[in-house]
Amino acid sequence: MSVLLDSARTQLLVVDVQERLLPAMAQGEDILAGCLRLVQAAAILDVPVSVSEQYPKGIGPSVAALRERLPESARSFEKLSFSCMGDPAIAERARALADDGRDQLLICGIEAHVCVLQTAIEAHEAGLPVYVAADAVGSRAPQSRELALARMARAGVEIVTAEMAIFEWQRVAGAGHFKALMALVK
């Protein structure tokens, strides 16, 4: 079985890109840009999107730029567990989508060394092919992000970039939604 992402098999999970958390991230604007590229590409290609918010009463909701670009079909979840897979509603959504053929889980968001890492490893251990978009995840300290990416890779998680994911979803130049997708990566 191919390890390339397939838009017909993928579900996108955006982890905790929230108002009071994003400004504390190293290269926060770059992280947000990567997440937005993926969300917009997912909307174009009908890839299901789930969004988690860690304790939004304290950390705030997802940032406005993200909320404004989410497709209508996106589902948002409040959580307290660091791992999205530790939240019954999010885990059930991921499993239900996988049972419907959306078994590839692409993750972006923050923080790479806490919620993203725990989610990715637990989803991988649950049998899902897991991908993390390296340019769309971050932490307060760059070292934490780098160590998290290395640890996830050692655990069997595929490390990609947003652009890699978008081109793998598209597969063919000049066909389908190519022009709309190209506008996202330029």
- The encoded tokens of residue 56 equal 């939004």
In order of 20, 61, 62, 160, the CA distances from 152 in angstroms are 26, 27, 24, 12
Q: Is the dihedral of CA 136, 152, 150, 8 positive or negative?
A: negative
Burial (Cβ within 10 Å: 0-12, 13-18, ≥19) of residue 160:
buried
Asked if 106 and 13 touch (Cβ cutoff 8 Å), the reply is yes
Could you give the residue numbers annotated as active site?
16, 79, 115
Amino acid at the residue 63: V
Burial (Cβ within 10 Å: 0-12, 13-18, ≥19) of residue 47:
buried
Asked if 111 and 10 touch (Cβ cutoff 8 Å), the reply is no
